[in-house]
Amino acid sequence: MSFREDTIAAVATPLGRGGVAVVRVSGPKAFEIASNLSTKAPKVGRIVFARFIEGDKILDEGLLLSFKAPASFTGEDVVEFQCHGGTVAPQRILDATIHLGARLARRGEFTERAFLNGKMSFDQAEALLDFIDAKTERAADAALGELVLEESSQSNIKNVIRKFYDETIAISTELEYSLDVDESDLGDEFFNRLEEKSSNLIKAIDLEASRLKERRILREGALVVLLGPPNAGKSSLLNAILSEARAIVSDIAGTTRDSIEAWADIAGWPVKLVDTAGIRKSGENFSEIEAEGVRRSEELAKKADVVIAFGDFADECGINLEASKVIKITPKCDLKRGDALNVSALTHEGVEELKLEVAARLKLLASKSDDNQSLEGERYLTSLLRARGVLAAVDFKMCDAVLIGNEMRRASQILGEAVGANYSDDILSGLFSRFCVGK
């Protein structure tokens, strides 16, 4: 069966104890199934209160909502059974819809049908997933902005990349036209003008790439690691940042044997804050369990987006970390002050300043143009960074229109693929499989 011929059903709300649950049905048999399961016929545009039945058995009672194609989320006939929450009631209704000819929906299949039926773009489907998964207000606002964006908006990512594409084509066209002229007659001014256009284009790409990298951090969250020796106050600082007693605090060194994770909202950035096991300097004797904790702490520090290092401890332990991601602090500054950022978990001095510094480092991370890490799924960002790399490598000083033209065409091809590529089955399944079954 094609997606236009079969009918799908799923519980659209989380299973578990709750006041209301929703069972969603989409497809050509949706209204027929609703008529057979309800004591009242579905009425488009009206909310119907009815009992939900299977034969002579009453399954539940609640509200029946009906949407006629194409005026529905999926673009198909859709009915929603709003029943009592819990586990039993929605499962009974879902089972009944299956008995009447629907099949259980795959993960994200309702949204996939909305995309295939032209109810939303691929970008809006991605933004919808980001909105559902948002961990902070800022992340939600960023995703919602993409979700409700009009296609004609100049800030739409496709339109922005299309503009970059048009600019590279324009430069390529000038260079190709110049091939009809003797290069010696072109002069330095010709190539200087094209270099200026290319330089402005690179700056614009950097700004857009920074925005996309910010969105990625907002969606996935940033990893922020506390790194220091045993009994240095890492757990106390974690609790102070979270404003709750998340980690056990003790005067006994080595209380934290494994990492403790907690999500925090730091100036709008969703952050996974990790309190690591205390690391003792090499050469000191410690148990096998402590050794494993130390190894994990070092691995986390290297993977982290930001490391909050207690003094010069990372350097003393030989952990090679990029300086731009390390924030050095002087902990327990109520007892002893230092040259680094003074922070006290006891008095909360410096805690807010530390949060602002973490936010600043994340902003810096998003603005960096030399991002070589894997960007699987970030096709727009990947294309922008690839095209930028090509443009940045062009040497206009060599005054060779053929070679420069070839590189400009390479850049335009990369940008063109980003805005005009067809969506493969792998790309579609990769996105929609990330949704829950009822979405």
288: pLDDT strictly greater than 80? no
Q: What's the pLDDT tens digit per position in 97-152?
A: 999 999 999 988 998 899 888 888 777 777 787 787 777 888 788 777 777 754 44
Report the length, in residues, of the chain: 439
75 or 288: which carries more pLDDT confidence? 75
Domain 222-366: CATH architecture, name and number where available:
3-Layer(aba) Sandwich (3.40)
pLDDT given for residue 431 in this prediction: 58
374 burial via Cβ count (<10 Å: 0-12, 13-18, 19+):
exposed
Chain segment 216-273, per-residue pLDDT in tens: 888 788 999 998 887 788 888 988 898 876 544 444 444 444 568 888 889 889 999 9
The domain segmentation of the chain, as residue ranges, is: 8-105, 122-152+424-432, 157-219+372-416, 222-366
- Among 88-97, 116-125, 175-184, name the one with the lowest average pLDDT: 175-184
- Superfamily of domain 8-105, CATH level 4: Probable tRNA modification gtpase trme; domain 1 (3.30.1360.120)
Tell me the per-residue pLDDT of 48-69, one tens digit each, with 9 for 90 and over.
999 999 988 999 999 999 999 9
pLDDT greater at residue 162 or residue 423? 162
Residue 381 has pLDDT above 80, yes or no: yes
User: CA-CA distance, 334 to 408, in Å (whole number)?
Assistant: 59
Q: Which of 3-7, 237-241, 297-301 has the highest mean pLDDT?
A: 237-241
324-328 own/partner pairs: CB under 8 Å, 24+ apart:
324/361, 324/364, 324/365, 325/361, 325/365, 327/354, 327/357, 327/358, 327/361
E strands, 334-410, in order: 341-342
Confidence check: pLDDT of 156 > 90? no
> How many C-beta neighbours within 10 Å does residue 206 have?
17
Amino acid occupying residue 296: R
> Using an 8 Å Cβ cutoff, are 151 and 121 in contact?
yes
Look up the pTM and report it. Answer: 0.59
